[in-house]
Structure 1
Amino acid sequence: MKRPDAIRPPEGKLAVLLPGMGAVSSTFIAGVLLARKGLGLPVGSLTQMGSMRAGGKQVRMNEYLPLARMDQLVFGGWDIFPDSVYDAAIHAKVLEASQLEPVREELEAIRPMKGVFYPQYVKRLHGTHVKEGATKADMVEQVRADIRTFLRDNRCSRAVAVWCGSTETYVAADQVHSSRRAFEAGLQKNDPAITNSQIYAWACLQEGVPFANGSPNLAVDFPAAAELARLHEVALAGKDFKTGQTLMKTVIGPALKARMLGVRGWFSTNILGNRDGEVLDDPESFRSKELTKRGVLDEILDASANPELYGEIFHKVRIEYYPPRGDAKEGWDNIDLFGWMGYPMQMKIDFLCRDSILAAPIVLDLALLLDLAQRGGCIGTQDWLSFYFKSPMTDPGRSPEHDLFVQNMKLKNTLRALMGEKPSCPPGAESYD
């Protein structure tokens, strides 16, 4: 990436708009507010706690990059339930109620705008705080009006949006997604291939708001969205936050490949009991998630290059809704591998994690880095942000990178290039080979 002529300074307030203000959003917002008061650390956030080599020395990212500060962030968003962010956090049971108390008043003041909700895309939820309109085009205009009103009322100079809503039923790209003209006609006709997340994304792009898709939904990963982003010069990123089990796959998979160890089977199962687990209990919503979770190994191991090692791998992914666990997800993997002379071995990984605790720093980093990209004139898909996603978006003709360490190198090299520094290897050539 060439250094832009100028990166606009991060002056004024930055609105962080969140479609979906449940467990992830409430954990993220509460954590930022607590960190502002010195009552917690933003652990897991590269922008706040990470470092990189620049100018011949190791520097903290938030000291090196012209990022918005956490005290410049203003939080808003939409939800299909009217709960304040405090009520949402209490319901999610991620952070302890006693920990929320110092920021309770601020959290109670943040209430969602009415959500866009066509229930056929999220069948396990029954929204009560929803917009009404004759067409999906009407819904887009209502969301656009919300954005303008929020920026005006909160005196924000700009905004960024991060989708933190539910996984929708699987929808494949169709003719309606092929061009801006086709999509806008589809909005008028209430085309069934246009989902809730696409309506939010379209509204954000129309308003010049960069958009990150934290779900496996087909929110901006289609030609019409790319065309609109170019028209309005907006940055995009996605899709599906890389948190627990898939994070482990992007570490272990490259290690096995690097040592030329074969894999016969990889069985993955998850149990979780939060709203996400309830939604994914619907087979059609699970289908969307399954595709992003399964595709990681296909790209990393590349059976076409090493058919004798990975050509017959059996890869199965399961997610089970188990209410007693709440947000405390357990990701369990059994890997059947083989080594010298074909002798079998096994690896078992049991990651007992908290879904929203792992997702919250991703939301913060994406908000700040997309805002940086937007101020630097970066347009369209930002594939250097693949570090944060299960199924990274790329421009047509380019394959996604899934190796976590290559992704990390690409992210930092891109930031160096933005700042006019020489990358540690030529941009676009990040690899171990």
Structure 2
Amino acid sequence: MSQSSSTSSRLRLLVLSNGHGEDIIAVRILQAFQEQANPPEIFALPLVGEGHAYQNLGIPLIGSVRTMPSGGFIYMDNRQLMRDVRGGLVQLTLSQIQAMRRWVSSQKKSGKPAGILAVGDIVPLLFAYFSGANYAFVGTAKSEYYVQDETGLLPRKSKSARWENFSGSIYHPWERWLMSRRRCQAVFPRDALTTQILKQWPIPAVDVGNPMMDGLAPSFGMQRFYTVDTQQKELARPLVVTLLPGSRPPEAYNNWQVILEVVSALLASFQERDAVGHTSGSVVFLAAIAPSLDTSQLTSSLQVQGWRPHTESPISLPDANTLIFKQRNAYLLISQQAYNDCLHLGDVAIAMAGTATEQFVGLGKPAIAIPGQGPQYNYAFAEAQSRLLGESLILIEQPAQAAKVMRSLLQNPDSLQVIAENGLRRMGQPGAARRIADCLAERLVLKSKK
């Protein structure tokens, strides 16, 4: 086949996603596609937000994009939904449907094979169904772990919670219907348990892992602390606590205030005692801060609580702009460019975030969470996340409770081992994006060429 013929028969792939986190996951899959020998021509339609992740990768957008007042969290609060409706949600959705159908129609008229990759929840899945093209679905929003684990259904306080699993799955019958259509070529659930449940129906579910765990390699070799005198070095090094306030302002700034209350409670607990088995007695707090946040709003709160700027740190981060603070024998580092290292170096996290908390737990580590005021990390979200992550996420109600939980965790090696295995099982091994791209190359690409 000539090069021109090969080019004309390449799959055109349209990616639909409905949220910033979903955009990031979609982009990881698209990057894996671009590394293939004959990658598809890729287009995107972000249904929520402005699609900066796609634009940064040079992927063209085919329709209107707009940031809604809720920031994409309408499913948590009916008031947020009404704000979005008043902000033009209905008109935006209709224009996006029209843009998608025009795109699919133009591919059919030109004889070019086309497919849809929906990433997120039922909204992009519905779009994909109405497109008239073959499609695949990456389900990021739902997991059977929200309602059950390997031993059975989870106990719930609310009677209404029973409806989450009324039909035998966290995915409702209408969602499963969309996933079982002839044009749906593949479904990629979050985890093995969800895949196992979906396979009870004629759904092409494939367990390849969760792309959320991709792209998290640290800057240092994993053998950093493991040498002949490992045990002595492990005891001598400081306890490292990762701080995850979330990425969305102004909520992240409010979360930061709560996290600093937890930090103060921990310092008071460790002040007169060895820091939970680490003979150095020192503690390092690593704050993984999104580049979109203003660090001056964070540092002003620190100095009020007695933290002072410092020039030296017991931990080296690949971020020349790391801000270092010290209070007695404790250090607090703020970094906006060393996210992966902040996750890998932490022994435990104080977490008020969505994706970041799940990624930390997926590395086999425990996280302590405290609900905020939202709109994202409120009590409902944190409680649901604690079901999703099981024993790896310990939910507390007051900052003062963190010290007791921390000490109990880190003095119990058996519990830490269970938590490590649980996190890896629920979040999966890295490499899912490449496995999804490879699977789609076999199913969606080849099917669209027939």
Q: Which TM-score bucket, shorter chain as reference?
A: 0.3 to 0.5
Give the structure-1-normalised TM-score.
Answer: 0.37
Rg (Cα) greater in structure? 2
> Comparing both chains, which one has the higher relative contact order based on Cα–Cα distances under 8 Å and sequence gaps of 6 or more?
1
Give the structure-2-normalised TM-score.
Answer: 0.36
